[in-house]
Amino acid sequence: MGRKAGFDRKKAENIVKVLARYPDGVWVRRIAEEAGLHPTTVTKYLEGVLGPLIEDISLAGKERPILRIVRLKTFVIERLQEGKTVEEIMKLLRYFATTE
């Protein structure tokens, strides 16, 4: 029996916790180290389920970014400071996406 399909909520929360510690942004490898995940896993979460929560500032290369800095959007940091959970913020984003 393999792993369940889809994204793991715990991994997503760990990534967001690391990002919350660096409001000015942090590179993917540092996120992976501090969250205890592989950099590829972090990248898949950032490009997938966490995409609406982040701002991606990349120094572009010819085939892939030379340096990729990622940070949480301002409203996400504000909601976390208010005591909201990552799951609550994701629900809020889904609500806004369906009403537009």
Residue 83 has phi, psi (to 5 degrees) of 100, 5
- What tokens were used for 95? 């609500």
**Domains identified in the chain, total number:** 1
- What tokens were used for 51? 């995409």
d(CA 77, CA 45): 18
Asked, for residue 2, whether it belongs to a domain, the answer is no
Asked, for residue 35, whether it belongs to a domain, the answer is yes
pLDDT, tens digit, for every residue of 6-33? 778 889 889 999 999 999 999 999 999 9
- What tokens were used for 11? 């991994």
CATH of the domain at 94: 1.10.10.10
Asked if 19 contacts 68 with a C-beta cutoff of 8 angstroms, the reply is: no
Asked, for residue 3, whether it belongs to a domain, the answer is no
What is the domain extent for residue 52? 9-99
Asked, for residue 82, whether it belongs to a domain, the answer is yes
Asked, for residue 26, whether it belongs to a domain, the answer is yes
Q: Would you report the helix, strand and coil content of the chain in percent, each value rounded to 5?
A: 55, 15, 30
- Report the chain's C-alpha Rg in angstroms: 14
The confidence score (pLDDT) of residue 91 equals 78
pLDDT, tens digit, for every residue of 30-71? 999 999 999 999 999 999 889 888 998 887 777 777 788 999
pTM for this entry: 0.80
